[in-house]
Every structure is written in structure tokens, then in C-alpha cells.
Structure 1
Amino acid sequence: MAANVGGSGPAVLTVGTLENKLSNDLNLSDRKDWFGSGTYLPVVPAKGSADFKQDADSQAGCSKGGVVYTLQNGIKWVVAWSNMKNERNKVYYDTTDTDIHWSTVESSL
């Protein structure tokens, strides 16, 4: 999930793949970039996958972000990650039918 150039020092980007095992498309409904800037596909196709990339914040040397994709019947799939300097990489995921509170997601990382 994380990469740093040369094998040491701060992360330069976080990359990942989201897999959709459902028979309907998943649509991007929200995103959060705490540290860094990401590129996220608007749709994860049915029975398919979508790659994402978040470049690390150049000042902090780390990457932290999240996405929300809407499933059927208003269910949301939340995926967040933390690729911080001097910390282990972390991933959070959940499904919910409630509003997303990014502060709560961040505290769960």
C-alpha cells in the first residue's frame, strides 16, 4: 500500500486497489485528503476493481486519506488509510447507512 523511494525516509505516495465483488457499480460519493493529494476513480465497476494513488504531502512527508463509495440502498463503503512517518501503515474500512464523520474515521486509524 505504501511506497518510499530508495527504501528509506518518508513515504512519497500511497497506492491501493479497491475490489468490487458486487453485481452493481460503486460510485464515489466523498473523499478526504488529510495529508497529500489523491486520484480516485469515480466508479468501481461491478465485479471489477479500481486503483487509487495519493501523493504524500511534500512538507509532512506522509499520506493520509479516505474515500466513500455508495453501494445499493444508500449503504456506504468507507476506506481510509494512514501512511505516516515513523508509524505503521494503517487501513480502516466499514459499511454504514449513516453520514460519514471524517473526524471519527481518522480517530479509528
Structure 2
Amino acid sequence: MCDFKPGDEVEKFKEGARHAVSWPGRPPIGTIAIVEAIYRVPGTDLYGLDLVGWPNSPARYGFAAENWRKVHRRDLTAWLSAKATFEEPKRTPAKRRERA
């Protein structure tokens, strides 16, 4: 199952075994792109992606979805503006052992 949808921002995070040979226009690891279309490769359980949005690359079609992950951009302003509170844990005093 592929959870990408058109318009998602994705990042290449690995090279697939099927693409071990370098070809011109192949995006390097760390490339950010936008999903244009998703399709299932006929006769397999694999999904392919058509991508747009990275500079200097004529290639746009047929990328293995397994090599890409969604980019999750989070708004950190609320987290950064929250007051940090740390409470020292409550500790119980040690009990005295009685000697027999």
C-alpha cells in the first residue's frame, strides 16, 4: 500500500537495488520533490511515482516509491514559545535497616 498522494512533498532517502547503475537525471539522496502521480506497477506489488520540482533534471517518471518518504514539516513556533517546566522527582527517604 502506498500512502502518497498527488501534491505530497517527498524526499529521496535511499537508492533501490534496481537502480544501482547511475543514469543522467537521477536525483541524488536528499532530493526534495513533489508527487505528480502514483501508479501500481502492473503484475507486482510495487508502486511508482511521477515527480516534479527539483532543479536541473529532465527525468520525472518511473521512480520507485519505496525509495522516497514524505516530508513532514511541523510548525515549531508553539513548541518553542512554551515555557519549559521541569519538576524534580519526589523521592522518598531511605528506610533504615534493622540489624538482626
Name the TM-score class by shorter chain: under 0.3
Richer in strand (by share): 1
Structure of larger gyration radius: 2
Using CA pairs under 8 Å that are at least 6 residues apart, name the structure with larger relative contact order, 1 or 2. 2
Could you tell me the TM-score, scaled by structure 1's length? 0.21
Could you tell me the TM-score, scaled by structure 2's length? 0.22
